[in-house]
Amino acid sequence: MGSSPSLGSEINIAKTSLSNIKRVEPIPTIKGDRPYPTNVNYIFSRLTATYQQQLQKLKLTNIPAVGSIGLFTAGLEPLTETFKQPGENVKDAVERLTATFQLLVASRILKTTLNANSSALDVELAVNLVEELNQIIARITTAKGRTNRQQQNIYDRKLPVNKLFQFQVKNNEDIPVYLTILLVDSNGGIAVRNFSIWL
């Protein structure tokens, strides 16, 4: 997690607070053309007037207010939902965003372990609400499956709170497939479920 100089005198508070979050390592800026190492995916920063002007030139909408604290991607695109009102101190901002940090870490771990884009298996997985069996919330197809049927991956809805949902897995291979489902809660905790999928 990059820590921006825009945090000013509170940058050491940011370093200490971020270090208390599991798997989050605060990384300061470095000299050179790239202000952060390549392993930095997000930047914890205060939105400055300079940042705001750059974002306005890009014609982005919902630009956060100057002085608010939140997260940018490594390409300096703001995650607008992470910014609140100006004047928030760094310690409060870290506490407010702790669950977000943990979810981003969990997401990063998942992305490094998934192989849907290179898998030689032909498998499809869909998620839907139990009460809406025909309404797909998300679908993913392995690379081999997409080659065979040109199916697109969709993620157009969020899972609502207190609703039962289910996974539908279709194994198009002639051998059993062993499936692991990782469920990530709002605190970044991960529950693992293993299954064997036959034809």
Are 62 and 77 in contact by the 8 Å Cβ rule? The answer is: no
Please give the Cα distance from 155 to 192 (Å, whole number): 21
Kindly list the domain boundaries of the chain, sorted by start residue. Answer: 2-113, 123-197
CA torsion sign, 162 to 164 to 170 to 175? positive
The one-letter amino acid at 40: V
pLDDT tens for 7-23 read 888 989 989 998 888 87
Which residues are CB-neighbours of 10 under 8 A, at least 6 positions away?
89, 90, 91
Please give the Cα distance from 157 to 79 (Å, whole number): 19
The 10 Å CB-count burial string (b at 16+, else e) for 167-199 is: eeeebbbeeebeeeeeebeeebeeeeeeeeeee
Query: Is 167 or 191 the better-scoring residue by pLDDT?
Result: 167
* Range 99-104 average pLDDT: 82
Are 195 and 177 in contact by the 8 Å Cβ rule? The answer is: no
What is the percent of the chain with per-residue pLDDT over 70, rounded to a whole number? 79
Please give the Cα distance from 22 to 6 (Å, whole number): 24
pLDDT tens for 75-96 read 888 888 899 989 899 999 999 9
pLDDT tens for 111-159 read 666 555 566 778 888 888 888 877 788 787 876 666 555 555 555 566 7
Are 71 and 100 in contact by the 8 Å Cβ rule? The answer is: yes
